[in-house]
Structure 1
Amino acid sequence: MTENPFFSPSSLPFQLPPFAEIRDDHYEPAFERGMAEQIAEVQAILVAPEPATFANTIEALERSGRILKRVSAVFFGLSSSDKTPFIAELEERIAPRLSAHGDRIRLDSDLYERIRAVSERVAAGEEQLDAEAVYLVDRYLTSYTLSGAGLGDADKATLREVNQRLSTLTTRFDTDLLDDTNALAVHVADVSELDGLGADAIATAAANATSRGLEGYLITLVLPTGHPYLASLTNRALRERIMTASQSRAARDNDADNRPVVLEIARLRASRAELLGFRSHAAAVTAAQTAGTPEAVDALLRRLAAPAAANARAEAAVLQEQIDATETDSTLASWDWAFYTEKVRAARFDVDTSAMRPYFDAERVLRDGVFFAATSLYGIRFEERFDLAAYNGEARVFEVTEDDGTPIGLYLLDLYTRDSKHGGAWMNSFVSQSRLLGTPRVVTNNLNVPRPAPGTPTLLTLDEVTTLFHEFGHALHGLFATVTYPRFAGTSVFRDFVEFPSQVNEMWMLWPEVLANYAKHFDTGEPMPQEMVDRLIASRAFNEGFRTSEYLAAALLDQAWHGLSSAEAEAVTDVAEFERAALERVGLADRAVPTRYSSTYFSHVFAGGYDAGYYSYIWSEVLDADTVRWFEENGGMTRANGDRFRRHVLGIGGSRDPLEAYREFRGRDADIAPLLERRGLTES
């Protein structure tokens, strides 16, 4: 199969994968050749007669596996954004083989000894390396040690079995969730039940139904527990149906039941941690993160949980007052929260977030908001490349250059929801920059915005605008990181640091000069009234108790599952009961404030690589809030400030210790006070 497009680098600009040429039957041969090629490359390292050096061991490892990297980037990118039945079937078969392949390399005792020997040479001053190379040696030794490279043969055999089984289970979790999410979409027969939704949302629901051969309207589910329509629908029974469907995902007695999958994943991760010498999976994970220990994570989360819960209870009392004033014999429930929050927001602050949608035309938000902010801060330019095809007809391609025309890379945007796409929003890379390999940058953002009716504009919600700015922060990280070694490319940083740049980028959404540039009525072109903006800013602290509580509930649930010892994990037999008890222990078991993700659809931690790491968002937000304060104190949106942030944070990828880099940027460690103020937790 010499024509297989994965066998050599793409000849397209920036090595954009030639999606139009890629066929289903290209993937498996590319995976097979890629794995075989990398094993041969590793064997060449091991049989080299010369003593281990940085060049013949570490750098050689960095050069290995190029075919495998190319096919994996495309295949797993499409697995999340455009999963066909073929991709789903192949993923189930290929995942355990890839796990075994990775273990064959990471658990090779001879290779581990060569890495140790290089580390000793560096420590003894026998290798003349730059700072990035020295740091690379340290990261290799640490990651191989934590992966179990130092274990005995019997333990390694057990570890391989566990890793392969886990790869199968996490793939199954993901597939089950996608299948049941599609199956539980809420069918509505009568348009009168959709009272409160805008015409575009109703048209989207009608199109959803038509696409599945149904009469009426279909409300598809999003990844978090809540749904955007809950804030608008006046029909309480329909709100309850949506919430019930959301919370039922992959937790029903059918083929997509993730409850046994969750239990087995938790047990296997706990037993693997014990094999590696850790009390729990959380201990094993945090050992390689900036947090260091589960205790440090727990201390932060619990510090915030009690005041957040208290604020949520106070908010609930206000919402109940609103209910009592408008309805009879109704008690606040989870499906009421968003609806009455908007009513209270309108009454107290005269803010109607639905009235903002006409000012958030997606094209303007993208070009005159997201891109404008990036140009103002970093001087970069964007040009849409209609001559380059993405993996799906809905995805767009933009070329990104420096102010002087120097190429940076390609940015792909896949905005709309579809049944083949996972819920939520994310960034990934199809090509990652490396001086060593001479590779450029191709990054993509995925969102799940409902497609409007033909001929009508895409009007975003306030949350969707925030999400686009957030995910573009990840994209900037991937586009700006300039490193020598592939291991440090793009967003390849500590997991509890990776959300920091994206969260910082959210600040520009409401920055006056940015907002004034993009928030214009889609029909009249009139700017969003300043009084509307002022009222929104004044109301932002309202509902922070709910938002913080639902997030912390999910983060602490993640820690509860992954803080179990092997014996404790074996004793858990009921997923729902474990979840209830875990949330009760931290004071967050409030039925009106459900956890952002329940266990059976908590894709981040049971399939998405955030296991024992969902705390990362709030951990990173300490840095984010402190950085926003720095921008505010130093002149805001200026090229000088943008260049400093790019130089110390975005531009270094994973090539330095992130907290050291932050100290250089900020001049000190991060202060938690700005986060507490932002979340309304200072008085509590």
Structure 2
Amino acid sequence: MTNPLLDDWTTPYEMPPFDRIEDDDFAPALDAALEEARANVAAMAGNTEAPSFANTIEALERADETLGRVLSVFYNLAGADSNPEREALSRDFSPKLSAYSSEVSMNAELFARIEAVWNTRETLDLSEEQMRLLTLTRRSFVRRGAELEGFARDRLAEVTRRLSSLGVEFGQNLLADERAWFMELAEGDLEGLPDFLVEAARAAGKEKGVDGPAITLSRSLIVPFLQFSPRRDLREQAHAAWTARGANGGETDNRDIATEILALREERAGLLGYDSFAEFKLEPEMAKTPEAVRDLLMKVWEPARAAAEADQIRLTAMMHKDGVNGDLEPWDWRYYSEKRREEEHDLDEAELKPYLQLDRMIEAAMACAHRLFGLEFRRVEVPLYHPDVRAWEVTRDGRHMAVYLGDYFARGSKRSGAWCSAIRSQQKLAGDIRPVVVNVCNFARPAEGRPALLSYDDARTLFHEFGHALHQMLSDVTYESLSGTSVARDFVELPSQLYEHWLEVPEVLSEFATHAQTGEPMPRDLLDRLLAANTYDTGFQTVEYVGSALVDLEFHAGEAPEDPMEEQARILEDIGMPKAVGMRHATPHFAHIFTGDGYSSGYYSYMWSEVMDADAFAAFEEAGGPFDPEIARKLEAHILSAGGVKEAEEAYTDFRGRMPGVEALLKGRGLIDA
């Protein structure tokens, strides 16, 4: 029997044949793909022809195409629809893939050929994109240890393998904790909860196999519960479970894993000649140094903390007026903040939410993409990995641009959060390959037959991830290593955060924010109140984010802490973290930085990109408005289609003519006067 992962895919748009793929197919497919990749690398390294860009750099680009195809399918499933078999496969695959990566990066003959091409680069008449690929390929090899010898070389390979396994373990422990906990609610516990939350809780209880409603650790369920439940004891219980993820003791406890990860990262950086892991990690990013990151974060921290502390005083007074004595606690903030928002802006989430239907917000995101970039979206029937997933063909002027998949609802098999990934990335080296892009979210599932309703934060998340998807869909480069979101980590959030701004455009909400029962558009008065409250509670939101980013930075900027939990407490005390706020992601569930290296020393990236996104949207406002065609053309040409062909700062300057300062960010968050 043939393996569907290794066969030619004759499905529409050459989609993965999800209807034929079984979990038992992955291990043999991986082994075959690794064998093929190793053979390709060996042939390159042993090539007797003189090294050239084509037979070395381009050949390396294509060496592991089959491996990439197998892994893109597997890791999409492992994140969005996991099961015990896939979790076991993840643990098995991790050391194998790490070993392969080390073999390639430390292959002396292969690196010698790369060096030969590098040393003659000025004579090769390379295009800008080819020169960029050469530069990044060589840099990647050096940063993965190609210049090391002896013990250092062997030890780096061991450290890399162990880090890979620990990251998988951390993520699986977190998913296990999120999947295991839920809080059943009696009918009396529903008092004060809006209808949309009661319906979502009943749907969650059904999924968990209980007769009544339940609150789970899905953000789209637990956050509104903390906003609306008048039962302080239940809020405290739910908040405690949410913040204890990864720190419950037993087999799923992540605290020792975090300690080991930080120590191994420090060792890895030392082996490569860096003073700290943060210095190593930040070198290729826009920020370049830990000092630059710290400077940005502290410029934002001071006004944000002042705003949060002022809000804390106001919310504490509201709580005392309710007859609850003592300090405002973290499980109180959202409840009293929601009350305050209703008082000050006459804005009630329960009034707002029926206007934010999931299907209409998807339409809104796609309609904006059409007006800005001429993209058309058409629902299609193709093999998919779960019944929740929807598929669209994306075209422009009749040309196929991408397949877009949307996987929107929370379920026990899906890790928390929201993300964008590509099952296939755009490239031209192997033909005109167009991408297959996936947006994954964790919105509360509605009761059967009812429309899914989003909070405004949910709708912003949808637009955010769609911005990442556009970065993939509009990519137009030759080499996959440079395509789509293959850019500096502190630049990759620019397209996503920029796209959030179109949700705030009044004409977009006027057209697509329609009531789930009546179909009527959002009343202008409600729309005005919503937009007027756009910066409401940004002190809280900014403090919980920046606190997490500073902990991440300090964890990696010096010696690895022997006890990360003690170090976390020390850092938060030093910066004066308001007691009632806390970190957005505490260490045991800080998946961004511990499930892999992606955002380690890099959680600041969202804020670094926000400095640019506020300025980038201002370019539209300064021109003909949010849909100005010339600015949209420049955005696509210099950022969305260009991938990583240029350094991020150069790409942004090509678009905007200059780099912005932090003031636009502070004004956008309402932390200084506009």
One fold, TM greater than 0.5? Answer: yes
User: What is the aligned partner in structure 1 of residue 608 from structure 2?
Assistant: 619
User: What is the aligned partner in structure 2 of residue 158 from structure 1?
Assistant: 155
Structure 1 window deviating more from structure 2 (228-237 vs 160-169): it is: 228-237
| Cα distance between partner residues in 2 of 1:539 and 1:331 | 26
Report SS of the residue matched to 2:489: coil
Q: Give the CA deviation at 1:659.
A: 1.3
Letter in 2 for 1:378: F
Letter in 2 for 1:421: K
1:371 pairs with 2:339? no
Structure 1 window deviating more from structure 2 (422-431 vs 628-637): it is: 628-637
Contact 1:550 1:593 in 2 (8 A): yes
Q: Give the CA deviation at 1:223.
A: 5.8
Q: Among residues 375, 400, 418, which one is paired with 1:425 in the alignment? A: 418
| Cα distance between partner residues in 1 of 2:310 and 2:630 | 43
| Cα distance between partner residues in 1 of 2:447 and 2:570 | 45
User: What is the aligned partner in structure 1 of residue 129 from structure 2?
Assistant: 132
Contact 1:389 1:397 in 2 (8 A): no
Q: Give the CA deviation at 1:354.
A: 2.6
| Cα distance between partner residues in 1 of 2:325 and 2:549 | 34
**Stretches of structure 1 lacking an aligned partner (at least 5 in a row):** none
Q: Give the CA deviation at 1:330.
A: 4.4
Give the direction of change, closer, same or farther, for the CA distance of 1:224–1:50 in structure 2 (3 Å limit): farther
User: What is the aligned partner in structure 2 of residue 253 from structure 1?
Assistant: 249
Letter in 1 for 2:606: Y
Contact 1:224 1:596 in 2 (8 A): no
1:595 pairs with 2:579? no
Letter in 2 for 1:152: E
User: What is the aligned partner in structure 2 of residue 15 from structure 1?
Assistant: 14
Contact 2:197 2:221 in 1 (8 A): no
User: What is the aligned partner in structure 2 of residue 102 from structure 1?
Assistant: 101
Letter in 1 for 2:200: T
Contact 1:224 1:597 in 2 (8 A): no
Q: Give the CA deviation at 1:13.
A: 3.0
Structure 1 window deviating more from structure 2 (415-424 vs 350-359): it is: 350-359
| Cα distance between partner residues in 2 of 1:196 and 1:625 | 37
Q: Among residues 334, 341, 351, which one is paired with 1:355 in the alignment? A: 351
Contact 2:204 2:445 in 1 (8 A): no
Report SS of the residue matched to 1:91: helix
| Cα distance between partner residues in 1 of 2:12 and 2:131 | 33
| Cα distance between partner residues in 1 of 2:621 and 2:673 | 23
User: What is the aligned partner in structure 2 of residue 656 from structure 1?
Assistant: 646
User: What is the aligned partner in structure 1 of residue 110 from structure 2?
Assistant: 111
Q: Deviations over 1:147-171 (max 9, x none)?
A: 1111112211101111111111100
Structure 1 window deviating more from structure 2 (350-359 vs 464-473): it is: 350-359
User: What is the aligned partner in structure 2 of residue 318 from structure 1?
Assistant: 314
| Cα distance between partner residues in 2 of 1:252 and 1:520 | 43
User: What is the aligned partner in structure 2 of residue 510 from structure 1?
Assistant: 504
User: What is the aligned partner in structure 2 of residue 604 from structure 1?
Assistant: 592
Q: Among residues 205, 209, 215, which one is paired with 1:209 in the alignment? A: 205
Q: Give the CA deviation at 1:208.
A: 2.5
| Cα distance between partner residues in 2 of 1:554 and 1:225 | 22
Q: How does 1:224-623 map to 2 (within 5 A)?
A: 227-367=223-363, 369-385=364-380, 387-402=381-396, 404-438=397-431, 439-565=433-559, 569=560, 572-588=561-577, 590-608=578-596, 609-623=598-612
Q: Among residues 633, 642, 664, which one is paired with 2:632 in the alignment? A: 642
Report SS of the residue matched to 2:490: coil
Q: Give the CA deviation at 1:28.
A: 0.8
Letter in 2 for 1:436: L
Letter in 1 for 2:566: E
Report SS of the residue matched to 1:134: helix
Q: Deviations over 1:88-125 (max 9, x none)?
A: 01101111110111111012222222112111111xx3
| Cα distance between partner residues in 2 of 1:582 and 1:683 | 29
User: What is the aligned partner in structure 2 of residue 666 from structure 1?
Assistant: 656
Q: Among residues 665, 668, 673, which one is paired with 1:675 in the alignment? A: 665
Contact 1:398 1:410 in 2 (8 A): yes
| Cα distance between partner residues in 2 of 1:318 and 1:645 | 42
Give the direction of change, closer, same or farther, for the CA distance of 1:654–1:14 in structure 2 (3 Å limit): farther
Structure 1 window deviating more from structure 2 (252-261 vs 104-113): it is: 104-113
Report SS of the residue matched to 2:491: coil
| Cα distance between partner residues in 2 of 1:267 and 1:209 | 41
| Cα distance between partner residues in 2 of 1:223 and 1:423 | 8
Structure 1 window deviating more from structure 2 (6-15 vs 518-527): it is: 6-15
Contact 2:94 2:164 in 1 (8 A): yes
Letter in 1 for 2:647: D
Give the direction of change, closer, same or farther, for the CA distance of 1:683–1:525 in structure 2 (3 Å limit): closer
Report SS of the residue matched to 1:470: helix
Q: Give the CA deviation at 1:9.
A: 4.1
| Cα distance between partner residues in 2 of 1:8 and 1:633 | 52
Q: Give the CA deviation at 1:472.
A: 0.2
1:181 pairs with 2:178? yes
Q: TM-score, normalised by structure 1?
A: 0.96
Give the direction of change, closer, same or farther, for the CA distance of 1:226–1:557 in structure 2 (3 Å limit): farther
How many correspondences in the alignment?
A: 671
Q: Deviations over 1:337-387 (max 9, x none)?
A: 1111111111112111331111111111111x11111111111100000x2
| Cα distance between partner residues in 1 of 2:587 and 2:111 | 36
Taking every aligned residue pair, what percent have the same amino acid on both sides?
A: 39
Q: Give the CA deviation at 1:211.
A: 3.0
| Cα distance between partner residues in 2 of 1:349 and 1:140 | 53
Contact 1:351 1:536 in 2 (8 A): yes
Contact 1:259 1:600 in 2 (8 A): yes
Letter in 2 for 1:65: D
Give the superposed CA RMSD: 1.6
| Cα distance between partner residues in 1 of 2:646 and 2:221 | 37
Report SS of the residue matched to 1:498: helix
Letter in 2 for 1:606: F
Contact 2:221 2:444 in 1 (8 A): no
| Cα distance between partner residues in 1 of 2:133 and 2:662 | 30
| Cα distance between partner residues in 1 of 2:421 and 2:232 | 38
Contact 1:262 1:606 in 2 (8 A): yes
Report SS of the residue matched to 1:317: helix
Contact 1:541 1:680 in 2 (8 A): yes
Structure 1 window deviating more from structure 2 (572-581 vs 288-297): it is: 572-581
Letter in 2 for 1:422: R
Structure 1 window deviating more from structure 2 (87-96 vs 577-586): it is: 577-586
Q: Give the CA deviation at 1:138.
A: 0.7
Report SS of the residue matched to 2:120: helix
| Cα distance between partner residues in 2 of 1:204 and 1:507 | 28
Letter in 2 for 1:374: A
**Stretches of structure 2 lacking an aligned partner (at least 5 in a row):** none
Q: Among residues 165, 168, 171, which one is paired with 1:168 in the alignment? A: 165
Q: Give the CA deviation at 1:225.
A: 12
Contact 1:194 1:234 in 2 (8 A): no
